[in-house]
Chain A
Amino acid sequence: MSSAAHSSHKTSPELLLQLAGITKKFGPLIANDAIDLKVHKGEIVALLGENGAGKTTLMNILFGHYVADEGTVTVTNRDGNLEQLEPGAPQAALDAGIGMVHQHFTLAENLSGLDNIVLGTEPIFRLRRDRTAARAKLADLMSGSGLNVDLDQPVHKLTVGEKQRVEILKALYRDARLLVLDEPTAVLTPQEADSLFVILRQLAATGLSVIIIAHKLAEVLAVSHRIAVLRGGKKVGEMQTSDADHRSIAELMVGREVPVSRRTERVPGAPVLRLSDVTIDRGDARRSLHGVNLTACEGEILGIAGVSGNGQAALAQLLAGLDKPDSGIVEIFEAIVTKFDAHKFAQNGIARIPEDRHHDGMVGSMSVAENIAIEDVRSKDYQKFGFLDFAAIRKRAEQAIKDYDVRCPGPGAPARLLSGGNIQKLILARVLEKSPKLILANQPSRGLDVGAQSEVHRRLLEARQNGAAVILISEDLDELLTISDQIVVIHAGHVSKAIPTDAIDRSELGLMMAGQTKTYTQQAQTSNTIRQGETP
């Protein structure tokens, strides 16, 4: 299929967009360094790169949010002539037919899909609302592309995948000729992602051009015609997708060989964490759990798979000691937990890696050293009579910076200067150095580049090898399948029985994440007994 698409482009390469020599500096940082990029009509181009590679800056220049220091953006206008886009003018980009679908949707939740789509295209003052024309145009768009959504439903009733379709329709309704999608699959189940790719292929066949910003390689290989790789603000490679392979792209992105972490055989030991019939009801589905049964053992990584907002937050709050169950029993280290207290949890050998590392993981204005010691400042090692022992705090920080390769100006530098990957290393150094017996890792590699991701995986596997039980909450299936020993699926606050990773069928997992297996709640009831039967 892809080769056919390629050949058609080669024969009629009608240029749609040309970025030429785009350079953008922020002080000493060169975010974009003389980047050239061409997009042809009906072509899907994947823009790949780690965080900080310059993808977002480049797109912001395309949309006129930033003005490039050097270089030009040229678009073939509707008459077929090349025309330079006015820099720094978002309206010019919109008029030229460039549409953007952001990772975080920009929809009004209380309005219908139709309202959202026509919003801003209708005159403000009008006596009568006539949407027959809009409906006809949208019906046309939907039948041609497979973007089927019930447009009269209020947006908050739609699934994430449907909301994304509304976003795409919104761009197409405004006659977009080039669609830019920022990390479009981050919030989707594998099935939803697959159907998005089918739609994008169909749209491309009708002449729409697409730029996909991504860092998941497998997806890019599946959908795109051409791949451009950015690293450190430079374009380091460009190739036809048919000529590309997984490993070579990863190395292009990172700039060096990426070590792949693999699980080694290990027999799990005694149970470390056991939840029996735990219910937390907070009225809101994303913060509630219903009759959850779960067991994690020594030397085992238990993956929690699920689409974002299905109760992962409630489970994480519970295991971090920040919330207590309404009913049910939580046993940690074979003792029933009565006091849910973050300080106690941290002091008793539970390592907690927060989901949002900037918001919950560090105090930006405090130093790297203080952030590493933050859980332990009350312990005797770091204070005497209430006075902080700065020498001890600094010594630990220096050791941690060395052991965990935290790139920072020094232990005294404010933590907010660190990049996302280095903040995560700082958090790992804080919690893993105390050789914890239970680790809660909530989205530990989200938003990290390939290199930092593999470092996180290595550390978690190392802890597993040393006998820790790891609860890995993740939306990244590849991550779960690579390092988990067993996986449970969480959907609408219910948790399925645990499935050994080696016995997992990817599409079955996708269906469970979408809540489409009827049996999972009953299975959950019996999971404990089954698990115990299995464990030698």
Chain B
Amino acid sequence: MIRFEPRSNPGPILVYGVPVFAAVFAILLAAIPLALAGAPIMDAYGLMITGAFGSVFSTSEMLTRATPLILTGLAAAIAFRAKLWNIGAEGQLYMGAMAAVVVGTGVIDGPSWVMIPVIMIAGALAGALMLIGPTLLKTRMGVDEVVTTLLLNFIVLLFVQMMLEGALKDPMSMGWPQSEPIIDSAILPPLLERMRVHLGLIIALVAASGLAVFVKRTVWGFEIRAVGENAAAAKFSGISVTKTMILVAALSGGLAGLAGVSEVAGTRGYLATDLSPGYGYAGIVVAMLARLSPVGVIISALFVASVFVGADSMSRAIGVSSYLADLIVAMSLLCVLIGGFLTRFKVRFDRRKTAG
């Protein structure tokens, strides 16, 4: 018989070691599907590493992929900290991207130091509003935000599609449903010449450190932590749970919106419905791997991005399905969840049989 006994105070080795161990373990587990696909396992691992870190180009690709993941990871982390289950980062990302396109394709023009902040603010606002609605429904009427935010993703995607077929359609696109390109002054400039990694990475890193300081050191961060850990006690002590939730919604939606801005103005240059391969959902994995720590989000986003980019390149080289990357990411999430359980509980094996 197996018993679980709660640990009173898990030590730092457990708290920090478990996610790392989980990630490594997930990569090792990937050997099973690789073997089933008949691939040479050691070569596959080698190709994955060179695919993500082998050259300046591959590292730049990996960082480009990590940029939106950091932002959506932060969006999930701050929301989950307050127990606001925002599953709608994907939709907020598209709304942010669309807002950036609306103001960033020639309606207004100016130098870069004006245009970049303008599209960032527009995108963040649009993302924030997308989450404030469901949050108000939750605090006022108890509507489950998991359902509303998740379903809004589909509504937003269809709405974006509609706009791209209509009002926002680029007349020069030869019939493809895509927007006009972002004007040059609003483009996030690349960090390295002839590489895709762009200013969005710096924005994401600043956002992560800013959020870390915000949560730990400010009054609002204090209130977010209190509401997330024990809403009843926070309410009793005079903290407004509704106001705190709305602040969290604005931050979380805003960060997801910024991810959209970064993709549309940094990587793609125009809006299309294939802008995000599920960055909003992957952000949840990133946040969970990071145990909702803003600084941890950077590390776990880099990990997830390297798995994606590395596995992609490996699959092309030896002809294995690139879905392997999704498999590894999903397995590391499962490993982290199990690991999280093991940090909170001790497993005891009793030899004595269960009494009947």
Contacts and interface: CB of A to CB of B under 8 A. Distances in A.
A365 interface: yes
A363 B220 contact: no
B12 interface: no
Contact of B229 (A322, A341, A363): A363
B222 A377 contact: yes
A88 B356 CA distance: 11
Bin the interface of chain A by size.
35 or more
A90 interface: yes
Contacts of A378: 219
Interface string B286-325: 0000000000000000000000000000000000000000
Contacts of B226: 363, 366, 370, 374
B219 A320 contact: no
A364 B233 CA distance: 10
B356 A322 contact: no
Given A64-B355, A366-B229, A361 B236 contact: yes
Nearest to B240: A343
B292 to A, nearest CB: 12
Interface in A463-494: none
A27 B9 CA distance: 12
B238 A345 contact: yes
B233 A387 contact: no
B234 A363 contact: yes
Contact of B236 (A354, A370, A377, A390): A354
B352 interface: yes
A377 B355 contact: no
A362 to B, nearest CB: 6
A79 interface: no
- Of the candidates A92, A341, A342, A344, the one having the most CB atoms from chain B within 10 angstroms of its own CB is A342
Contact of A322 (B233, B235, B350): B235
Contacts of B235: 322, 342, 360
B229 A320 contact: no
A91 interface: yes
- Of the candidates B8, B218, B219, B229, the one having the most CB atoms from chain A within 10 angstroms of its own CB is B219
A315 interface: no
A352 interface: yes
B218 A352 contact: no
A374 B237 contact: yes
A360 B232 contact: yes
A360 B233 contact: yes
B61 interface: no
Given A322-B236, A342-B236, A365-B229, A86 B355 contact: yes
Interface string A83-97: 000111111100000
Contact of A366 (B219, B225, B240, B350): B225
Contacts of A377: 219, 222-223
Contact of A387 (B218, B237, B352): B218
A363 B352 CA distance: 38
A359 interface: yes
Interface in A404-462: 414, 417
A320 B233 CA distance: 12
B230 interface: yes
A386 interface: yes
A383 to B, nearest CB: 5
A27 B5 CA distance: 11
A388 interface: yes
B238 A362 contact: no
A46 interface: no
A370 B356 contact: no
B217 A363 contact: no
Interface string B1-33: 000000011000000000000000000000000
Interface string B164-185: 0000000000000000000000
B212 to A, nearest CB: 14
Interface in A234-262: none
B239 interface: yes
B9 A386 contact: no
Nearest to B5: A26
A377 B352 CA distance: 52
B237 A91 contact: no
B227 to A, nearest CB: 9
Contacts of B230: 359, 362-364
A181 interface: no
Nearest to A390: B217
B83 to A, nearest CB: 12
Given A345-B238, A364-B229, A414-B9, 19 more contacts: A89-B355, A92-B355, A322-B235, A322-B236, A342-B235, A342-B237, A344-B238, A359-B233, A360-B232, A361-B233, A362-B230, A362-B233, A363-B225, A363-B230, A364-B230, A375-B237, A377-B222, A387-B218, A417-B9
Please list the 5 inter-chain residue pairs (A to B) with the smallest Cβ-Cβ separation, ordered nearest first: A89-B355, A343-B238, A342-B238, A360-B236, A363-B230
30 contacts: A27-B8, A87-B352, A88-B355, A89-B355, A92-B355, A321-B238, A341-B238, A342-B237, A352-B236, A354-B236, A360-B233, A360-B236, A363-B225, A363-B226, A363-B229, A363-B230, A363-B233, A364-B230, A366-B225, A366-B229, A374-B233, A377-B222, A378-B219, A383-B219, A387-B217, A387-B218, A387-B219, A388-B217, A388-B218, A414-B9
Interface of A: 27, 64, 67, 86-92, 320-322, 341-347, 352, 354, 359-366, 370, 374-375, 377-378, 383, 386-388, 390, 414, 417
